[in-house]
Amino acid sequence: MQGSGAHRTARSSYARMRGFTLVELMVVVVIVSMLLAIAIPTYSSFMRRSRRGDVEAILMDIAQRQQQYLNDARAYAPNWTVFYPTLPVDVSTYYTVTVCGAAPPAACGAPGGAPPFFVLVATPIATSAQAGDFTLTLDSTGVRGPASAW
């Protein structure tokens, strides 16, 4: 009996030392590849929506500040730099934000109201990760465009 226990210990230590087979390694590679094929596009989509949410929040804040500015100055501010020295990095890296108020509303890319009015436009930067995303607009009447992106 003593000899069979020693033989079993030697065989189990040999099994532990031999490592992985090529088939086991390839199965793991295939499983990891499938998980990455699902996870990377999902993560990219999540990050795009998150960055869009950041710029939507900035547009809403600028619109609110525009209303306060109108109460004080009887006109809307000509640009967002009146309210922010610079845009937050998480917005300025991915979007260009402009205030349109001097041109007729149709030239701003969104409907506007009677003067005074403004249209905020956030355009994705073509060389950023947001390229191909929606161009977001918000006007002085509260109309947001495109509606499916908000």
pLDDT, residue 80, reads 87
**Residue in this structure with the two tokens 């260009």, named with its chain if needed:** 96
CA–CA distance, 113 with 99 (Å, rounded to integer): 15
Q: Which pLDDT score is estimated for 58?
A: 95
Residue 94 is predicted with a pLDDT of 96
Alpha-carbon Rg for the chain, nearest whole angstrom, is 29
E-assigned strand segments in the chain? 95-100, 119-124, 136-139, 144-145
Average pLDDT, integer, range 131-143: 91
Q: Are 55 and 48 in contact (CB under 8 A)?
A: no
Nearest-angstrom CA–CA distance, 93 and 125: 8
Q: Which residues pair with 124 in a beta bridge?
A: 95
pLDDT of residue 144: 92
Q: Is 60 exceeded by the pLDDT of residue 105?
A: no
Nearest to 138 by CA among 113, 115, 118: 118
Residue bearing the bigger pLDDT, 15 or 61: 61
**How many other C-beta atoms are found inside a 10 Å radius of the C-beta of residue 59?**
22
Q: How many CB atoms lie within 10 A of CB 94?
A: 22
- pLDDT per residue over 23-71, tens digit each? 999 999 999 999 999 999 999 999 999 999 999 999 999 999 999 999 9
113: confidence class by pLDDT, cuts 50, 70, 90: low
State residue 79's pLDDT score.
86
pLDDT at site 20: 82
2 has a pLDDT exceeding 70: no
User: How far is 78 from 130, CA to CA, in rounded Å?
Assistant: 26
